[in-house]
Amino acid sequence: MATERTRVMGLFDTEGQTASAIRGLRNDGYTLERVHGPIPSHVVADALALPKSRVGWFTLAGGITGFFCGFLLAAFTATRWHLIVGGKPIVALVPFVIVGFEFTILFAVFGNVLGLISQARLPRFGPVTPYDPRLTGHKFGVLASCETARKNDLFRFLEAKGAEIKADEGGQP
């Protein structure tokens, strides 16, 4: 039989309090579900010990694809009609590398955007609960869960860390 669990969000004023709460929650055996913040705080990120994002692989794949697309496009159009000037090559390396370079950047950025939205799971329009509008403004939020029997301990723990407790109600549209 599954144990009933309770989720509690603590809202903090500073990144230091947030990082301290994150470490404490882990040490005390609570489950850390989500952490929100108005800025990409390194202090909080360090406390979370998040792995490196894989967005870069999408960017790299886009860039490599782009170079070949650009270069091959220029070569393709040049070979549709051989316009020979002064015996110069039809598939000219230097000018086509310029086209390849621009396409490298363009497709790398497309890959970057694709990587960002797929990895961060955006867009996401469903409700997020619990949520507080101040989380994008000036509050850090830590959502933790525990067995319902330990609920009061979790409340006390978060309050001791300086949190304002946010009940699990209402979401962000």
Residue whose CB is less far from another protein, 124 or 152? 124
Residue whose CB is less far from another protein, 129 or 150? 129
| Per-residue H/E/C for 40-68 | CCHHHHHHHCCCCCCHHHHHHHHHHHHHH
Binding site for another protein (CB under 8 A): 13-16, 34-40, 43-45, 48, 50, 52-53, 55-56, 59, 63, 70, 73-74, 76-78, 80-81, 83, 92, 95-96, 98-99, 101-103, 105-106, 108-109, 112-113, 115-117, 119-120, 122-126, 128, 131, 133-139, 172-173
Pairing of strands 5-12, 140-147: antiparallel
Helices (H) and strands (E) in the chain, counts: 5, 4
Do 44 and 35 form a contact (C-beta atoms < 8 A)? yes
Residue whose CB is less far from another protein, 6 or 16? 16
Residue whose CB is less far from another protein, 16 or 24? 16
Q: Nearest approach, Cβ of 1 to another protein (angstroms)?
A: 31
Q: Nearest approach, Cβ of 62 to another protein (angstroms)?
A: 10
Q: Residue 170: CB partners within 8 Å, gap ≥ 6?
A: 129, 130, 131
The span from the CA of 150 to the CA of 144, in Å, is 12
